[in-house]
Structure formats: C-alpha cells, structure tokens
C-alpha cells in the first residue's frame, strides 16, 4: 500500500487520509474517492491530497477486520460488520468470556497492521457486552498477515468464546456450634442466595446441622437426594486442613476432596470436592459478605457449566489480590466490583418500518402488498430487518392496516397504528418514535417499499454508529448518492417528533450535518424504492 501525497485529479479510487472541508461538505478520513470527489478536491485547492492507494496484495481494512473477527468469534458471540477497520465481537447472552490468551499474543505479534483486544479471560459479561475488537491499524493489511491472523483466530478453536450461564439448582449446608448466632446463619443464606440469583441460578434447599462429620455427611446426602448441584458447605469454623471436619464430612457422604486452598485473597481457604459428578464446595468464611472474593470466581465458572480443576484454581493468583490496599482505595461493594465506566456494549438500536402510506402513486393498489419473488414487498423488508441486530422492530401501519399486518408475516416484530397516516410520512415516523422504549441509543428508520436493503447494510450502519465520536446519524451512500435507511441517535428523537410533511427529515439532516456519517456501500437497493407500477415491473424483470 502506498500512503502519501497524490495529485488530486489522480486520486480516484484512493482512500482519503485526513478529513477535509470541500465546498461546504465534510469529506471524512477513510472516504473512497470517486472521480467527482477528486475534481471537487482539486477545485477546492486540496492538491495534492494525502491518500492511500492499495496494492494487489493488500486487503482493505474493513474486509480484513471482518474476516478475522468472523474467524475469532465462537459460540454465543456475534461479530458485527466492520467500520473504519474495526470489527467488534459481542456476547449474545450472559456468561463467562473464554479467551485463548496465547493465541491473542501470537496474533498480535504477526504484523503491526493487525490487532485484537479482548476482555480478561473468565470475565463475567452481560448480553450485548463487547468481548473483543479487531482493528486494522492502516487503511489495508497485507494479505499474508490477514491469512495468518485468521489461522491464529480460528485454531484449534475460535479465539473468543462464551460459556453461557446456566440455571443451577444449588444446595446449602451451614454448620453451627454452641455460640453460633442465628443472625450469622441468616446473613450467610442471604449472601449465597443473592450470588446465585445474580448468576441466573437459585438456592433450592438449605440445611443447618451441627459441626461434626456425620451431621455434615447426612445434610449433604439430603441435598444430593434433592438433585442439588453444586452443594455449598459453610462451616461454623474455617477449614484449616484437607482433613478438617467439613472435608471429612464430604468424604463420609461418599465424595472426594479434590483441592484445598487458592491463591486469591480473600478466599484462600476454599476447598473443592465432588460427589459423583456433583461439585461440592467448602466455602471460605469471607463469602458470608457480599464483597468480591475467590468463591465468586469459582461459583461463576460452575454456573457457566465449566469444571474447576486444581490447575484452574492455582492459575487465579495473577490478579487474585482482591483486598483493599493503599493503591486500591475504593471500597468493594456488591458481588462484582463495578468498573469506573460502563463496559463497552453493542448499541441498543431499534428499527421502525414505515408501512402506513396511501401508495398514491401505485394507481389504486397498495405497493407493500404487491408480490415480489413470491412474497409481499413488505415481507422482504421485515425479514431483512429481523435478520439484523436491531431490536425491537416496530412496523407502523395506517392505510389498509390489517392487510399490511398480514403481509408483514410472522416474526418478533410489533405493530403501531398511525391514525393520521393520510397526512404524510412524517406522521408515521412520529407515531413510531412515540412507541419506542425509553432506553435506546438510536433507531433505524426503514421504508416499507425498499425490499433490497440487505441485513448487511443495516449491520454496517449500526457498526458505524458512535455518538461519542460524532457519528450520531448514519446513512448509506453509493458513490456520492445518499440512500435509506437512516439511523438516528436518540438525542434527535424530539426533533424527529416535530417533523411535518415528507421532506422534513432531509432538511433536518442538512441542519445536523456535523453529526452525519456517510457509510459507503455497494448495494443499489439503498437507493431504490418501489413506489410506482413501473418501478415494480422493472424490479420483477431483474
């Protein structure tokens, strides 16, 4: 790849290196320059321009990032479409991140053009949270580096995976001695129950018994009969040896002691055992508190269906100092220490499909009901939107509402009726905005008569969307022509609600030009709506 000064009129097909203002427009860094762009740059005095020209062995940044992220994304994860050379991998459900750290290191050492960053191994993540990001540093990467990175990312298994949380049915044994207070037992049970519930599991039974081997064995046997797993044992006194009372009770119940002690503080005196295939944990006394300790790390893995071996426990020492120390003055609270900033996550983007119009240019028919490739035009649109990450999906109806609902077909979409549909497109937009849930980052406004907008385009718009970086309104462009749909950030919802007529959104885009991000794509479908009989006939002939 060549990067440097290029005569403006020779820059067609090159990638703009730095953002520039051209005749009142903003040409952003990374723009693929058309011949029209090159002439405009020259006319504006930007000559030469700093740009990149790819060579035959180069792979463009987005294509390279997509290929590596797809290889790296394992079960229960989703790789989003790349934008500006960045492809993020997100969790599809709650669980523990499984990261092959050795492969991460080897991939990052391949070539300076290719990088991947991940969350820490075994980090507890929420649905939609970012697990990893692949970033191509320059505008392209050498093909050999991309191929090697794909091999590293996918073998012997995907580099980033997720162990989803499972609904465990845990049992609890608590022992008592003469001076054990009931309040201590109550506090212990509450702490255990809350830990389990936050992991999607439950405490189904608990037993209180005397602190002796036979009583512990009997209590464990009762919980085994109730099919509890894991079984958690809190001793009235701390376990100080693998031959102490609690481990002896596990053995007397027919189990085995697998490991005692862990390099995590608090949590050193944790014991692991097994009764058949059922985990049994001797829980350290620090877990009576809701504060983070080594027991949490073990319990999280068990609730994600993972085995916890001696080696697993003894590898927890790096980062295992959890006590407050002078360099960590913030007090611990809750079951998991909260980060100073929210964890990066996939934007919460809904989709509105506007399907309430009169179809006045269709000579009496409703264009959305017209058949195309064996199904109504609207159903193509709905299916494409449902295949994207957008959620929820709302279809705004109006004219011939019941027929339009039927044409949309089955799926998870909801419907909103616009009684003012005859007053124009903007009324359907307002009805849809008013029906959206309050916790969204943005909304994709899709037109019901554009059946050839693929899920890939929608995914790319969502990937480009980043209000913090100034990309709060995202729309597709083919060459220099803008198309639909448009993704609007939630900060503009109130301005959308006051639009009138069918051209109000275009005027608003002009007013908010500094927030607009044009997302290049190759699909003509973003430019073509089917609003006349002639357009429908032409599309059927394709």
What does the pLDDT look like over 269-320, one tens digit per residue? 999 999 999 999 999 999 999 899 999 999 999 999 999 999 999 999 999 9
Confidence (pLDDT) at 363:
67
- The token pair that represents 53 in the structure block: 């020209």
With CA atoms as reference, report the closest residue to 173 among 284, 267, 291, 282.
Answer: 282
* pTM more than 0.75: yes
How confident is the model at residue 339, as a pLDDT? Answer: 45
Between strands 375-376 and 371-372, the pairing is: antiparallel
CB atoms within 10 A of CB 283: 28
Q: Which residues of 241-253 are buried (b: 16+ CB within 10 A; e: fewer)?
A: ebebbbbbbbbbb
Q: Identify the burial level of 19 via C-beta atoms within 10 angstroms of its C-beta, where 0-12 means exposed, 13-18 middle and 19 or more buried.
A: exposed
Instruction: Give residue 25's pLDDT.
Output: 83
Report the C-alpha gap between 203 and 220 in whole angstroms: 14
Q: HSE on the CB side for 262, CA within 13 Å?
A: 33
* Neighbouring residues of 477: CB distance < 8 A, sequence distance ≥ 6: 483, 518, 519, 520, 521
Look over the chain and give the mean of its residue pLDDT values, rounded to a whole number: 93
Calculate the CA 61 to chain-centre distance.
21
With contact defined as beta carbons under 8 Å apart, do 435 and 418 qualify?
no
pLDDT confidence bin for 398, thresholds 50/70/90? very high
pLDDT at residue 341, rounded to an integer: 61
The string of pLDDT tens digits covering residues 32-75 is 999 999 999 999 999 999 999 999 999 999 999 999 999 999 99
Is-cis flag, bond preceding 106, omega within 30?
no
Q: What is the pLDDT of residue 364?
A: 64
Shortest CA distance to 242 belongs to which of 310, 319, 320?
310
Residue 334 has pLDDT above 90, yes or no: no
pLDDT for the residue 324: 60
Contact present, 385 and 446 (Cβ < 8 Å): yes
For residue 502, name the pLDDT band (cuts at 50, 70, 90): low
Task: Check whether 337 has a pLDDT greater than 80.
Answer: no
How far apart, in whole angstroms, are the C-alpha atoms of residue 385 and residue 353?
9
SS3 breakdown of the chain: % helix, strand, coil, rounded to 5? 35, 25, 40
Question: What stretches of 69-216 adopt beta strand conformation (E)?
Answer: 77-79, 86-91, 95-99, 114-118, 124-125, 130-136, 140-142, 160-164, 169-176, 202-210
Res 124 pLDDT > 90: yes
Mean pLDDT of 417-443: 94
Query: Residue 159 is encoded by which pair of tokens?
Result: 């580099």
Residues 6+ apart with CB under 8 A from 315: none
**18 to 5, 43, 158, 319, 470: CA distances (angstroms):** 11, 17, 35, 41, 16
374 secondary structure, DSSP code:
T
Q: Which phi and psi angles does 478 have, rounded to 5°?
A: -115, 110
């Amino acid at each position: 790849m060549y990067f440097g000064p290029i005569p403006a009129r020779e820059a067609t097909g090159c990638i703009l290196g730095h953002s520039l203002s051209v005749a009142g427009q903003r040409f952003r860094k990374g723009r693929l320059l058309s011949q029209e762009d090159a002439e405009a740059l020259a006319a504006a005095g930007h000559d030469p321009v700093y740009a990149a020209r790819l060579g035959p062995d180069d792979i463009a940044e987005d294509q390279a990032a997509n290929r590596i992220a797809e290889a790296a994304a394992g079960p229960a994860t989703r790789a989003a479409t790349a934008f500006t050379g960045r492809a993020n991998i997100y969790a599809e459900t709650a669980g523990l991140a499984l990261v092959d750290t050795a492969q991460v290191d080897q991939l990052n050492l391949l070539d300076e053009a290719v990088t991947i960053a991940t969350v820490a191994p075994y980090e507890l993540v929420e649905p939609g949270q970012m697990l990893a990001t692949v970033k191509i540093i320059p505008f392209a990467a050498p093909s050999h580096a991309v191929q090697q990175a794909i091999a590293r990312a996918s073998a012997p298994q995907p580099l980033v995976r997720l162990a989803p949380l499972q609904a465990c049915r845990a049992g609890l044994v608590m022992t008592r001695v003469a001076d054990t207070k009931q309040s201590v037992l109550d506090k212990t049970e509450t702490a255990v129950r809350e830990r389990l519930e936050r992991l999607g599991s439950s405490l189904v039974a608990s037993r209180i018994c005397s602190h002796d081997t036979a009583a512990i064995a009997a209590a464990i046997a009762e919980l085994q009969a109730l099919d509890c797993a894991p079984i958690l044992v809190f001793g009235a006194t701390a376990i100080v040896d693998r031959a102490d009372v609690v481990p002896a009770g596990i053995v007397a119940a027919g189990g085995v002691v697998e490991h005692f002690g862990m390099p995590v503080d608090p949590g050193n005196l944790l014991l692991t055992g097994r009764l058949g295939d059922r985990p049994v944990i001797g829980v350290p006394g620090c877990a009576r508190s809701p504060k983070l300790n080594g027991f949490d790390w073990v319990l999280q893995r068990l609730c994600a269906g993972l085995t916890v071996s001696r080696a697993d426990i003894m590898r927890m020492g790096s980062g295992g100092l959890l006590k407050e120390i002078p360099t960590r003055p913030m007090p611990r609270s809750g079951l998991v220490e909260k980060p100073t900033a929210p964890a990066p996550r996939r934007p919460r983007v809904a989709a509105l499909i506007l399907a309430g119009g009169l179809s006045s240019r269709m000579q009496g028919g409703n264009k959305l009901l017209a058949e195309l490739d064996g199904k109504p035009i609207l159903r193509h649109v709905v299916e494409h939107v449902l295949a994207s990450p957008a959620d929820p999906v709302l279809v705004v109806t109006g004219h011939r509402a019941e027929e339009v609902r039927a044409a949309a077909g089955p799926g998870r979409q909801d419907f909103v009726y616009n009684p003012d549909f005859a007053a124009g497109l903007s009324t359907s937009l307002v009805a849809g905005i008013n029906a959206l849930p309050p916790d969204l980052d943005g909304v994709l406004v899709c037109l019901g008569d554009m059946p050839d907008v693929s899920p890939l385009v929608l995914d790319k718009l969502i990937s480009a969307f980043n209000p913090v970086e100034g990309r709060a309104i995202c729309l597709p462009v083919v060459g220099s022509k803008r198309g639909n749909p448009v993704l609007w950030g939630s900060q503009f919802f109130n301005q959308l609600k006051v639009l009138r007529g069918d051209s109000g959104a275009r005027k608003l885009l002009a007013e908010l030009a500094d927030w607009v991000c044009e997302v290049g794509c190759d699909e003509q479908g973003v430019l073509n709506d089917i609003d006349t009989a002639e357009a429908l006939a032409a599309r059927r002939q394709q």
